[in-house]
Chain A
């Protein structure tokens, strides 16, 4: 059906959403040893917050986007103060943190179900409107989402490479003890990591809600496994790796459905493709695309 250039474009769209989602997961895992299962549901929260703020001022998507980013970041910081910091003080291990995160995920998702209902929701975009640019056909939602995604990824790249706080976050993720000895304020940097992680989760949620046309509170959990795969692909704890891993994975997932490629994989099996990439990666290069060998 779709030709290759179109699939590459769709892959970039999917990939940039995965990349934006994966940055927060990899930093939180690298710094706090917390596999953040609730990250998916933070994305779903962002999608609904975006919907709420969009409707607040006469269907303004920009307001919705900003509202979603701010409230998702606030949510992440709130949970840090209420739960993660007390748990760290009690010296909870990786398993304790992981199970608490599952608890947070269950609560968040079902509060969304309760408040917003299970029926699919939609952003106010014109689904019929299609723009033709060269070989590409872009839906209106993609025209809106793609530039935002590209700018956000460039911004995150700039943040990590050029700003002091970005370098501090990477240092902490690389070697926490060393970073603390070097004078980095660990608790402050962790709060910044949660702000960034929550904000990007909210952003990814809005973008996914846009390009998916309609969504329900399960949006986040459906994104979670490809995001995890992107994190491993990039190497756990590596911020640049998460960006690269997300983009590569998104491209592979979409292009795998191309009929020129052995007839193509059925679209319902895209998640299986993500899993296959993950397994191959673990066998061939377990430290990830950009990660360093530190696996145990």
Chain B
């Protein structure tokens, strides 16, 4: 039970919540504002992280250049995914994006030469050597620590600074999205969500607006992927299972659709619940072995999702009249 009092652990939970907030904002613009059913969100997180890591390890690029390249790569990929699906009914997009994300994971698992295969990025420069890509990030965190330690003293630990950086990025993303959705562009998105034909009749090119929403959301997913990669200095295809996408959906619905400030609320609640199950080490939970506790956690997440949809589908901050029904 001592872990529950350890601030470093809670900084780590906050980092997770921040990364999920950025992912959730991407889905919020796609689903909450444009009504797109993207069930392959995690794919763009994976593409961002892998592009960066591969460019650093294999091409010897600087981490920052590689990160920008990764963001640049994600945009055309998202447009390609949207091309055959965005003109069709919503269920097609849901199925195709889910399948796309699984394909990305298959490729990452099977193309050992490119991605390091199922062992992950540690294997990027071939067996026998340990590949690492985030030295520059760790240096950067240290520099920020140097700025903050005169003010904050011992509080400015590595985990605390990481948390700070992630949340600054998340808050910037919230503010930018808030400006975007209140602009004329954002109002067109809402019209498309409510009535596509009406938007088309007003002379708006619906397909292009959907493409833009898909691209912006995917870009945010890639940012989250980069931060995930920086944080953990190593990742594998197992980090990009469909469950991550489902978690993000739960966060967006929990916070409230079409509510940008709902996303961090949903992400924090989710992260506390998720981390909280770690402390179920008293009876009767202590009778279970670690595997069983992991299964129990997934069953709880599944039940929470069902109960949320039955009893409060508009989420914590959402309004029923702005709920996306179809």
Contact = CB atoms under 8 A, between A and B. Distances in A.
Contact of A110 (B31, B90, B302, B310): B302
B103 A110 contact: no
Interface in A57-95: 83, 86-87, 90-95
Interface in A257-281: 266, 268-269, 271-272, 274-275, 278-279
A100 B102 contact: no
Q: Interface size for chain B: under 10, 10 to 19, 20 to 34, or 35 or more residues?
A: 35 or more
A268 B106 contact: yes
Interface of B: 31, 37, 84-85, 88-92, 94-96, 98-100, 102-103, 106-107, 110, 196, 243, 246, 249-250, 253, 291-292, 295-296, 298-299, 301-306, 308-310, 313, 323-326
Given A229-B99, A283-B84, 20 more contacts: A87-B309, A93-B323, A93-B325, A94-B37, A94-B91, A100-B309, A103-B301, A103-B304, A103-B305, A103-B306, A104-B302, A107-B298, A110-B296, A110-B299, A113-B295, A114-B299, A268-B110, A274-B99, A282-B84, A296-B88
B94 A98 contact: yes
By CB atoms of chain A within 10 A, which of B303, B305, B309 has the most? B309
Interface residues of A, number: 49
Contacts of A295: 88-89, 92
Contacts of A104: 302, 306
Contacts of B313: 90, 92, 96
Interface in A96-117: 96-100, 102-107, 109-111, 113-114
Nearest to A236: B91
Nearest to B311: A90
A283 B90 CA distance: 16
A228 B246 contact: no
A103 B303 contact: yes
Contacts of B296: 110, 114
Contacts of A118: 291
Contacts of A279: 84, 96
A29 interface: yes
B302 A96 contact: no
Given A98-B94, A236-B91, A268-B106, A278 B99 contact: yes
A225 interface: yes
B97 to A, nearest CB: 11
A99 B309 contact: yes
B95 A228 contact: yes
A93 B324 contact: yes
Contacts of A107: 298-299, 302-303, 306
B99 A266 contact: no
A286 B87 CA distance: 10
A269 B104 CA distance: 11
A93 B326 contact: yes
Contact of B309 (A91, A92, A106, A286): A92
A195 interface: no
B100 A106 contact: no
By CB atoms of chain B within 10 A, which of A92, A94, A274 has the most? A94
Contacts of B302: 102-107, 110
27 contacts: A35-B91, A83-B310, A87-B310, A91-B325, A92-B309, A92-B313, A93-B323, A95-B324, A98-B37, A99-B308, A99-B309, A100-B306, A103-B301, A106-B302, A110-B295, A113-B291, A113-B295, A114-B296, A114-B299, A225-B102, A229-B99, A232-B95, A232-B96, A271-B103, A272-B103, A275-B100, A283-B84
B299 A94 contact: no
Which label, helix, strand, loop or mixed, suits the secondary structure of the A interface?
helix
A83 B107 CA distance: 36
Contact of B96 (A83, A102, A103, A282): A282
Contacts of B31: 95
B309 A114 contact: no
Contacts of B37: 94-95, 98
Interface string A12-33: 0000000000000000010001
Interface in A210-246: 225, 228-229, 231-232, 236
Nearest to B323: A93
A102 B249 contact: yes
Contacts of B310: 83, 86-87, 90, 92, 100
A228 B98 contact: yes
Contacts of A296: 88-89, 196
A35 B326 CA distance: 12
Contacts of B299: 106-107, 110-111, 114
A102 B95 contact: no
A282 B92 contact: yes
Task: Name the 5 nearest CB pairs between A and B, nearest first.
Answer: A106-B302, A93-B325, A103-B305, A103-B306, A107-B302
A114 B295 contact: yes
Contact of B306 (A83, A95, A266): A83
Contact of B253 (A99, A111, A229): A99
A34 to B, nearest CB: 9
A35 B111 CA distance: 31
B325 to A, nearest CB: 4
Contact of A100 (B106, B298, B305): B305
Given A104-B306, A282-B88, A225 B110 contact: no
A286 B103 CA distance: 20
A95 B325 CA distance: 7
A272 B107 contact: yes
By CB atoms of chain B within 10 A, which of A96, A229, A266 has the most? A96
